Amino acid sequence: MTSLEFTNQVQKISYSLKPVAMNLTRDADDAKDLVQETLLKALLNKDKFKAGTNLKAWLYTIMRNTFINNYNKITKRNSNIDSTEYFQYFNTDENYITHNGATSDFVVTDINQAIAGLSADYRTPFMMYYIGYKYLEIAEKLQIPIGTVKNRIHIARKELKDALKVYAPGV
């Protein structure tokens, strides 16, 4: 199937996407955005479509997955969990209770020194992940494969765990 044929077929089917998008989003503007994003993803990934399969189902799947991903992003950003009851029981082990502020200062100093002791190759992706970047975003910013990012973060965690094992419970 040529690009022109693919584009024409997608255009014909695109009119049937809006009612489904409206059903998912319950908002006209959001539905238009969802359809537009679905069509963009379809056109950018036309090489992944297998000729002879159901194009309409493929577009619906893209739309559904896009909607779910967007919904998860929005709910993750807007979730305010009242965790006061949870934190009441958090770290109640005697090893974690500090009776004076100096102890926590030592812990923070040790953590910062352990992080500073990491090689820059491991520290940079680890800190980016720590402040909220996703693996893919880190890979793009550092221009390295995503597998390398995951590996470096794993190694950084392992090295930090070893460097800070004195704070492990039961040691």
DSSP annotation of 166: G
Set out the domains of the chain in order of their start, with CATH numbers: 1-81 (1.10.1740.10), 97-170 (1.10.10.10)
What's the average model confidence in pLDDT over 118-125?
Answer: 92
Quote the tokens at residue 75.
């709910």
Tokens encoding 7: 């584009």
**Would you say the pTM of this structure is higher than 0.75?**
no
What are the Cα distances from residue 35, in Å, to 26, 40, 70, 98?
A: 13, 9, 13, 54
Q: Is the pLDDT of residue 39 over 90?
A: yes
Give the pLDDT mean for 85-109. 59
**pLDDT for 40:** 94
Q: Are 35 and 63 in contact (CB under 8 A)?
A: yes
- Distance, in Å, from the CA atom of 7 to the CA atom of 147, rounded to the nearest integer, reads 34
Q: How far apart are CA 122 and CA 33, in angstroms?
A: 38
* Percent over 70 (pLDDT), the chain: 82
Distances (CA, A) of 53 to 18, 47, 116, 158, 166: 21, 13, 53, 46, 58
Phi and psi angles of residue 16, each rounded to the nearest 5 degrees, phi first: -85, -5
Place of tokens 């470096």: 152
Mean pLDDT of 141-169: 90
Sign, CA dihedral 84-89-94-95, equals: negative
- Tokens representing 59 are 């577009």
